[in-house]
Structure 1
Amino acid sequence: MKANWNTLHRLWMLLAQAVTVGAGLLIAWHAFGPASPPPARNDVVTIHEAAGSTSLASTILGRRDTGYRSAARKASASVVNIYTRSASSRRSRRGQDSLSLGSGVIVAAQGYILTNNHVVDGATEIAVMLPSGKVADAQLLGRDPDTDLAVLKVDATDLPPITFAEPGSVQVGDIVLAVGDPFGVGQTVTQGIVSATGRNRLGINTFENFIQTDAAINPGNSGGALVDIDGNLVGINAAIFSESGGSQGIGFAIPVSLAREVMDQIIAHGRVERGWIGVVARDAKHGAEDAAGAVVEKVQRGGPGERAGLRVGDTVTAMNGKGIADATALINETAMLAPGSRVEFKVTRHGVPMAVAVELGRRPMPAERRR
């Protein structure tokens, strides 16, 4: 039976996020005390990157007898459990503290851990269970709600960092493994394939470029690793489509290219700096099948767009000579530039083409934009 959009629309988008576990599941969280000052960021961060790929023949021969044991072992050593407590946490019926559980990936031996923003959002206390079994306090270095990524720092050294795959190396049909701690049962590895790449307009994040996979991703897997058959990181597990709350073969991961870009900025600056035009726009093709561009529907008062003279009804068709296909392209292209950049937009107003020069502002965090 062919599924139509109405059928798919009835599926609710579930972030594969925190599952609630009793404090009794934690063998030790003795370090879960008052937050200490954020750690200094003057250490040198070393990121491991994959070397050139091996031949297909040697890859097949190497896995004929061992399956994906080596990849699973390699990746699992760099995936951690993340426990959070927030001000809204309630005590369980047995009087134990209710804690939230997610996953994270060690990205540098100096104690840097990459995870999802929604895993740690609102947390007043964060602890990480390391591969050794040790539980350590974690500090939130920074987060980026627009991509649902966050970076933590634990006071530990010589941790086993994941190896980053080459950006764009994963293709549709490739076998991948998802590593995390679903439902708090313990670290788990599931296998699937890459079903699609470049998924967007899902309404999950502001900036979307998801890898879609049928590897089982369940609540508690959020922030865990999606790796290739060599155990190299290709994505950060983030969300699933589900009617029941469990995996139904449609999972999404943030690609390593985007994750690396956000992670580097957070480690260096504590936040992600993006250019911002200060308008709300819709696709021009909503009004005409062959139209391209983004139609301005709202101009934020005092924002960069208003100061430059952009008006409601303007159709933005190009930026610095590069065509703007739709509203998503307008947001993405401006976000790739640094705040303070001067940009020339090609605009059509009442059928008349014109150029509007805008000095981009700093894109506010989502909470700031709601004020």
Structure 2
Amino acid sequence: MNMNRLWLVFTQAVTVLLAALFIVVALKPEWLNTSSSKSLVNTILINQVSQDGQLSPGSYHDAVKRSMPAVVNIFTSKSPAKSSARAGKNPNSVDPLFKFFFGDQPPEEPSASLGSGVLVSADGYILTNHHVISDANSIDVALSDGRKIKARVIGSDPETDIAVLKVETKQLPTAITLGNVDSIHVGDVVLAIGNPFGVGQTVTSGIISALGRNHLGINTFENFIQTDAAINPGNSGGALVDTRGNLIGINTAIFSNNGGSMGIGFAIPIDLAKQVMNSIIASGSVTRGWIGVEPQNLNPELSDSLGLAANIKGVLLSGVLNGGPAFRSGARPGDILISVDGTPTHDVRGLLDKVSSINPGNEAELKILRKGKELDLKVQIGQRPKPKKLLN
């Protein structure tokens, strides 16, 4: 009996002590501080502070810090008449899944669109897309430090969708460093920087999904970098950079059926963009070679109908412009163009790239196949006509 009473007294005392300790911890924790506990707390805080400022493993902060100041936001305004004309140009005429970032508004009101651009020189030159600034009455550029200044168009090239702007102001942000396309590979991590949907500068990451994408029907001259980094309306003209912050491409288009990113985006490689930019800065436009033919890719069915051997590679000249350079050289519809200056023409894209790279006025050699016989023709390269605008 005495043992039971003692146990009851003990348990009640323990309960009271625990309750008192709980109250002290909750209301007056400083009463419990001792030199040892303070030392432990200070050690924990010091360890936590020492980790601040360190980059997380796999962070791309340095690349972003290096490249983001050179990415600008572009705001344009268009008159109702010009907006209507742009609306008449359907960016999905080839494939409704290809969404360009024109940002057109109803033609009855002045329209405003936005995109991105990249400062590429200390002189104030900015690379962006042709479709971002096409038909704009005025162009404003918002710098990374918040300043908003007017920009003027130096020139643009609709066939590659590249445009060059220039701003005149003091203390420009540091221009981005141009990368080397030859050093990038499928699977490399890349970052897309731009102003999607006007929310402000945004960085997304992904990998290079493919290189040399063409035959997409987006531009006349195509050699796209494909990436799964999220690219959305407003990213047009923005930067695609590598993990060192070097510019490797200008973001241009996405493959989408809802207008948003679906993991398939396309960027113009910086080597092509730089080539176009240099030509625009030097002369205000891009000059390309032209021979005046309507080429068509060969396929097994077409080759069979023409009686061609299976090993014959080339393009069919389904049309030759009367009086054009190729016509004057002796080329005729039905000829198979095998090579230009020794470079095989296996498809229309290869022919277009080769001829356009030859300066107008220069002479080139065409090797053609006509009725089973090879012929060598001399052609004087003409200048490629400017693309016509589509109007209502």
TM-score scaled by structure 1? 0.79
Distance 1:277 1:96 in 2: 43
Query: Match for residue 358 of structure 2?
Result: 337
2:175 is aligned to 161
Which of 189, 207, 219 is the equivalent residue of 2:221? Answer: 207
Structure 1 unmatched ranges of 5 or more: 1-61
1:121 to 130, 134, 138: 134
Shift of 1:98: 3.5
Does residue 110 of structure 1 match 2:123? yes
Residues 242 and 184 (structure 1), Cα distance of their counterparts in 2 relative to 1, 3 Å cut: same
In the alignment, residue 356 of structure 2 is paired with which amino acid?
A
Question: Where does residue 84 of structure 1 map in the other structure?
Answer: 76
Whether the 8 Å contact between 1:283 and 1:292 is mirrored in structure 2 is no
Deviation at 1:72, TM superposition (A): 1.1
Larger strand proportion, structure 1 or 2? Answer: 1
Distance, in Å, in 2 between the alignment partners of 1:303 and 1:103 is 40
Match of 2:63 among 71, 90, 103: 71
Alpha-carbon distance change, 318 to 63 in structure 1, aligned in 2, over 3 angstroms: farther
**Larger relative helix fraction:** 2
Task: Map 1:1-40 to 2 at 5 A.
Answer: none
Residue aligning to 1:10: none
Identify the residue that residue 323 of structure 2 maps to in structure 1: 302
CA-to-partner distance for each residue in 1:212-256, whole Å, 9 max, x for gaps? Answer: 000000000000000000110010000000011000000000011
- 2:93 equivalent in structure 1: none
Looking at structure 2, the residues matched to 81 and 300 of structure 1 have their Cα atoms a distance apart, in angstroms, of: 43
Partner Cα distance (1:153, 1:252) in 2 = 25
Shift in Å at residue 284 of structure 1? 2.2
Give the counterpart of 1:291 among 312, 317, 321: 312
Shift in alpha-carbon separation, 1:161–1:335, aligned structure 2, 3 A: same
Match of 1:216 in 2: 230
Contact 1:293–1:325 at 8 Å: present in 2 too? yes
d(CA) in 2 for partners of 1:358, 1:364 = 17
Q: Which residue of 2 aligns with 1:354?
A: 375
Matches within 5 A, 1:249-328: 249-285=263-299, 287-288=302-303, 290-328=311-349
Cα distance between partner residues in 2 of 1:158 and 1:275: 40
Q: Retained in 2: the 8 A contact 1:109–1:158?
A: no
Paired residue type of 1:322: T
Q: Is the 8 A contact 1:145 1:365 kept in 2?
A: no
Q: Give how far 1:64 is off.
A: 5.2
Return the alpha-carbon distance in structure 1 between the equivalents of residues 128 and 311 of structure 2.
Answer: 40
Q: Which residue of 2 aligns with 1:130?
A: 143
Identical aligned pairs, as a percentage?
50
* Residue type of the alignment partner of 2:74: I
Match of 1:12 in 2: none
Q: Is the 8 A contact 1:317 1:347 kept in 2?
A: yes
Q: Residues 242 and 369 from structure 1, CA distance in 2 versus in 1: closer, same or farther, beyond 3 angstroms?
A: closer
Q: Distance in 2 between matches of 1:318 and 1:132?
A: 52
1:298 and 1:139 mapped to 2: Cα distance?
40
**May I ask how many residue pairs the two structures share in their alignment?**
308
Aligned to 1:32: none
Match of 2:165 among 142, 145, 152: 152
Identify which range, 340-349 or 300-309, moves more after superposition.
300-309
Could you tell which deviates more after superposition, 115-124 or 151-160? 151-160
Equivalent pair of 2:212/2:224 in contact (CA under 8 Å): yes
- The one-letter code of the counterpart of 1:349 is R
Q: CA–CA distance in 2 between the matches of 1:227 and 1:96?
A: 37
Distance in 2, matches of 1:234 and 1:170, equals: 8
Q: Cα 1:96–1:70, aligned 2, differ >3 Å: closer, same or farther? A: farther
Contact 1:118 1:148 survives alignment (8 Å): yes
The one-character-per-residue Cα deviations of 1:18-48 (angstroms, maximum 9, x if unpaired) are xxxxxxxxxxxxxxxxxxxxxxxxxxxxxxx
**Whole-angstrom CA distance in 2 between matches of 1:172 and 1:120:** 31
Cα distance, 1:97 vs structure 2: 5.2
Mapped partners of 2:322, 2:77: distance in 1? 38
Greater CA deviation, 119-128 or 221-230? 119-128
Bigger Rg over Cα: 2
**SS state at 1:291 partner:** coil
Cα distance in 1, alignment partners of residues 163 and 386 from structure 2? 13
Counterpart residue number, 1:30: none
CA shift, 1:201, in A, is 0.4
SS in 2 for 1:307: helix
**Taking CA–CA contacts closer than 8 Å with sequence separation of 6 or more, which of the two structures ends up with the larger relative contact order?**
1
TM-score (norm 2): 0.74
Secondary structure of the residue that 2:299 maps to in structure 1? helix
Q: Which moved more, 1:175-184 or 1:66-75?
A: 66-75
Structure 2 counterpart of 1:225, from 225, 239, 250: 239
Aligned 8 A contact 1:111 1:157 in 2: no
Match in the other structure for 2:30: none
**Structure-2 change in CA distance of 1:73 and 1:145 (3 Å):** same
Q: What is the distance in 2 between the residues matched to 1:279 and 1:158? A: 50
Q: Please, what is the CA RMSD of the aligned residues?
A: 2.3
Per the TM alignment, residue 318 of structure 1 is displaced from its structure 2 partner at its CA by 1.0
Alignment correspondent of 1:20: none
Amino acid at match of 1:200: N
Contact 1:197 1:212 in 2 (8 A): yes
Kept after mapping to 2: 8 A contact 1:179/1:225: yes
